[in-house]
Amino acid sequence: DAGVIQSPRHEVTEMGQEVTLRCKPISGHDYLFWYRQTMMRGLELLIYFNNNVPIDDSGMPEDRFSAKMPNASFSTLKIQPSEPRDSAVYFCASSWGQGVGNTIYFGEGSWLTVV
């Protein structure tokens, strides 16, 4: 399997612009996660889906952030409008939830810089 695939790998954008991050989970996985990592706050869980349904979005920082999962093989995380404090690495991850202590597989991350 190709693993979790994220795009773009790197993005530099100006404040106020819309940013869309994309993710293709591992085929067959029924959980999908979006994390954000910064030096100050570490690895934060933003939102996760189970069978394409958002289960917990309490980690989404504010209304500027939204996430969708229209089907089992695709998800997006959108920031509109973007701000410099959104600069971070955004990881998408997936897992097979039926096993005990399900293992999470991470993508390589999308490195976002908002100037």
Partner 1 sequence: LAKTTQPISMDSYEGQEVNITCSHNNIATNDYITWYQQFPSQGPRFIIQGYKTKVTNEVASLFIPADRKSSTLSLPRVSLSDTAVYYCLVGDTGNQFYFGTGTSLTVIP
Angle, CA 44 vertex, CA 110 and CA 4 arms, to 5°: 40
Binding range to partner 1, per CB under 8 A, among 12-20, 39-47, 61-69, 80-88: 39-47
Nearer to partner 1, 49 or 65 (CB): 49
How far is it, in rounded angstroms, from Cα 32 to Cα 53? 10
Candidates 12, 15, 43, 115; binder of partner 1 (CB under 8 A) is 43
> 84 is written with which tokens?
């410099």
- Three-state DSSP class for residue 86: helix
Q: Is 91 in the site for partner 1 (CB under 8 A)?
A: yes
8 vs 16 by CB, closer to partner 1: 8
d(CA 53, CA 55): 6
Long-range (24+ apart) CB contacts under 8 A made by 39-44 are 43/91
Q: How far is the CB of 75 from partner 1 (least distance, A)?
A: 15
Is 5 a binding residue for partner 1 by CB under 8 A? The answer is: no
CB of 95 to partner 1, least distance (A): 8
Chain contacts with partner 1 (rule: CB under 8 A): 4, 33, 35, 42-43, 45, 48, 91, 93, 97-109
